[in-house]
Structure 1
Amino acid sequence: MNHHDHVNRIAAACLAVALVGTASTALAQKKYDPGASDTEIRVGQTMPFSGPASAYSTIGKAQAAYFRMINEQGGINGRKVNLIQYDDAYNPPKTVEQVRKLVESDEVLLTFQILGTAPNAAVQKYLNGKKVPHLFASTGASRFTDPKNYPWTMGFNPNYQTEGRIYARYILENYPSAKIGVLYQNDDMGKDYLAGLKHGLGAKAASMIISEASYEVTDPTIDSQIVKLKTVGADLLYDMSTPKFSAQAIRKVAELGWKPVHILDINSQSVGGVFKPAGFENSQGIISVNYGKDPGDSSWDSDAGMKKWRAFMDKYYPDGDKNSSFNTYGYSTAQLLEVVLRQCGDDLTRDNIMKQAASLKNVQLDLALPGIIANTTATDYRVNKQLQMIRFKGEGWESFGPILTDDSTD
């Protein structure tokens, strides 16, 4: 055999090995954990379809509609998303039962947007122990953005302490001599809002906060708490409640003829779910923060992202309220999950899902306010760190002031 032949033969053999190599890496690149296959990605969640927080259930309906749309368009990298939803009635023991079922019977690849602080807290250790992604939890409590202790959990909502610090900054700049009365839900959510306010007010917290009143999510009414805060002479109401109680608070404040500066947390800004039932005339001037485009604000009418959302609502969720920020929220969270799943390619392992979720780079969602982008790292799980102050006027919200970024990492 002459030299030339020999070289050719070696080259051919090398090429064959190289081809086998690429074939096997192509095969190896398809990596699946339970809940993923060539045709499907199984995702699980609980939602309060009934119970005291059922105003939020439309979020789950909007998310289901979003993945119907995605599946109709061919799925994600050719796979259909199967979103399995169970009602937990915002009741933590029920959440535990339903999440175990999702993981152990339905064998979901990940959980997505479990709603509520207490429900998420009830399953956080379980999901981390099982190494199942606890992704974009629908809560801003700080324990859900703590990669050191809970690497499998990532919250979506702006951290409540972040939000509290931003309100504190606003109060110090605009109402430095305020007498603050605090209303809060007696759980991780409410306590985080209080901690953020105190952290942000710093040394002035002790003198500025004159009274704190808490309520349980099972309480029928918060009338007595509102009466107490008015009676002690508060002139700024720091109201960290959930929709049913926010509507009650707004009504009771009006009924008492009390006129405090009213700051309301981000969870309760649905026009249809809170302000309409509370009465628009009672809601004027309420202050909050936001990071998404408000569907009730006509200044977004010609915005491309808003047009896309309205077309989606018309086609996939026609019964949904087009003025509800809960429905824009449902769309935005589903869109972010789509981004993560696309980034995963054919490596649909639970490990890779967390890796991709923790390496978001300048993600601009259709309905995020201009200038607000999502960035995450392995050590910073906060998806949303930027907020815009807003004020209720007429039958909707108006933005004012610049976008504020919380740089505090503690």
Structure 2
Amino acid sequence: MNPHRRTALVHACMALATGLGLVPAANAQPRYDPGASATEIRIGNTMPYSGPVSAFGTVGKAEAAYFDMVNAEGGINGRKISFITLDDGYVPSKTVERVRKLVEQDEVLAVFGLVGTSHNAAVQKYLNARKVPQLFISTGATRFGDPKNFPWTMGWQPTYQAEGRIYAQHILASNPNAKIAILYQNDDFGRDVLKGVMNGLGEKAQGQVVAQTTYETTDPTVDSQVVSLKASGADTFINIATPKAAAQAIRKAADIGWKPAQYVTQVSNSVPMVMKPAGPENALGVISIAYVRDPADPAWQASKEYLQYQAWFRKYYPGGNIEDPSNVIGYSMAQTLAQTLKQAGDNLTRENVMKQAANLDMTLPMLLPGVAIKTGPNDFAPVKGMQPVRFNGKVFEPFGPVLNGQ
């Protein structure tokens, strides 16, 4: 046979075999960036396992427990997740140090789930410069949903500004002449929620906000701030604080006989972490927002979603508090990352991981009905829906429709 005809015939047969899936096409070969291989995907994380907001450390433990389950069931596309999680003590400089180690020494494929607005901001430029995904981070600051300026950073939860606007809208609807006092954490988290409140109040903000005061996470108490807010004559109190300070503020208001309408941000609407330490009787009627099912609420506990969550919890995180919604958040965030990696298939480059993160359309079992995960190339805010909730002395009860605060 003519050698040229033989070569052409071989090429034709190879093309046919490729088309039939008998041999892999060249572009279907696995692709790996640092942190990924045929057997492993390394994911980096920092958490405040110590320090003033160590209560949030349970989020990282829940995430680790979820990946333990994934690995026990065979991993993602046959690859085990190596979840490297380090303590940053809720100190931004330590977050920087830990993240550099994760990227430069541990060579993780992506960093995931970092807690804290200032802490994520401290590493955002570094990670974007190195083109390392900063995925599904645990903060609602708007700067983490900006694909034009930070294409390697994506938040997860609803934004703090949207949350603040929802509180303002509820106040204007329920008490149009409210006199509002605001306590807020003196950092990007506190200022972001405050901005949402002020934007939501609009032209009424200047007249209705009669007092504002801040606190530092290192302050032993917020008692003096609450006393000064009561002295303003306010009948409405917006408590923009992390769990320890939020609980102190609710309790102190009761101790001094101040009984305003109260709002607390979603980062501090945990019954075991905040309402019980504050005294449930003191927190009666507190309003917040939620986007995950409250695991302490009997209304969910007969559902298949909760029973699945309960079975996972008992097996993989038996030392945790099953009633703490922070664990539901860790569980749900880990599910979001797992789906992203599953979609990435054998193309485990950092670029493709970000591409898949920006191509999600899913529901998760422990999100509230009506709340979903949806992203796009120009939409880096996965969770948008927020359900207003009110504390009834035992659990937070939903009321009204799911809102987005936009």
TM-score (norm 1): 0.95
Q: Distance in 1 between matches of 2:186 and 2:136?
A: 23
Deviations along 1:117-152, whole A, 9 cap, x unmatched? Answer: 111111111111111000011000111111111111
Q: How does 1:41-190 map to 2 (within 5 A)?
A: 41-190=41-190
In 1, Cα distance between the equivalents of 2:298 and 2:156?
A: 26
Partner of 1:31: 31
Give the Å deviation of 1:10. Answer: 5.2
Q: Is the 8 A contact 2:39 2:79 kept in 1?
A: yes
User: For the structure 1 residues 27 and 197, does the alpha-carbon distance in structure 2 shift closer, same or farther, using more than 3 Å as the test?
Assistant: same
Partners of 2:378 and 2:333 lie apart in 1 by 21
Matched, 1:14 2:6: no
Q: Which whole-Å CA distance do the structure 2 matches of 1:247 and 1:197 have between them?
A: 21
Alignment of 1:215-226 (within 5 A): 215-226=215-226
The residue that corresponds to 1:400 in the other structure is 399
Shift of 1:25: 2.6
In structure 2, give the amino acid aligned to 1:357. Answer: A
Give me the whole-angstrom Cα distance separating, in 1, the residues matched to 2:404 and 2:90: 31
Partner amino acid, structure 1, of 2:182: V
SS of 1:99's partner is helix
Give the deviation of 1:20 after TM superposition.
6.5
Provide the C-alpha distance between the structure 2 equivalents of 1:145 and 1:249, rounded to a whole number of angstroms: 31
Paired position in structure 1 for 2:375: 376
- What secondary structure sits across from 2:402 in the alignment? strand
Q: Give 1:281 shift.
A: 1.4
State the alpha-carbon separation in 2 of the partners of residues 208 and 384 from structure 1. 31
Letter of the 2:14 counterpart: A
Unaligned runs of 5+ in 1: none
1:278, distance to aligned residue in structure 2 (A): 1.2
- For 1:16 and 1:111, the matched residues in 2 are separated by 41
The answer to whether the 8 A contact 2:385-2:404 is kept is yes
Rounded Cα–Cα distance in structure 2 between residues aligned with 1:27 and 1:404: 43
Partner in structure 2 of residue 257 of structure 1: 257
DSSP 3-state at the match of 1:70: helix
Deviation of the 1:27 alpha carbon: 6.5
Cα distance in 2, alignment partners of residues 331 and 61 from structure 1: 9
- Contact map agreement 2:214 2:225 (CA 8 A) in 1: yes
Unaligned runs of at least 5 residues, structure 2:
none
Contact 2:157 2:384 survives alignment (8 Å): no
The amino acid that maps onto 2:157 is N
Supply the distance in 1 between the matched residues of 2:273 and 2:53 (Cα, whole angstroms).
11
Q: Note the C-alpha offset of 1:9.
A: 8.6
Amino acid at match of 1:16: M
Quick one: distance in 2 between partners of 1:29 and 1:272?
A: 49
The structure-2 alpha-carbon separation of the partners of 1:76 and 1:26, relative to structure 1 and needing over 3 Å to count, comes to farther
Residue equivalent to 2:205? 205
Letter in 1 for 2:309: W
RMSD, aligned α-carbons: 1.7
The alignment's TM-score, normalised by the length of structure 2, stands at 0.96
Q: Which one-letter code corresponds to 1:292 in the other structure? A: V
State the SS of the aligned residue for 2:403: strand
What fraction of aligned residue pairs are identical, expressed as a percent?
Answer: 53
Task: Classify the secondary structure of the residue corresponding to 1:132.
Answer: coil
Q: Deviation at 1:16?
A: 2.5
Q: Offset at 1:13?
A: 4.0
1:365 aligned partner: 364
* 2:347 corresponding residue in structure 1: 347
Task: State how many pairs are aligned.
Answer: 403
The amino acid across from 2:13 in the alignment is L
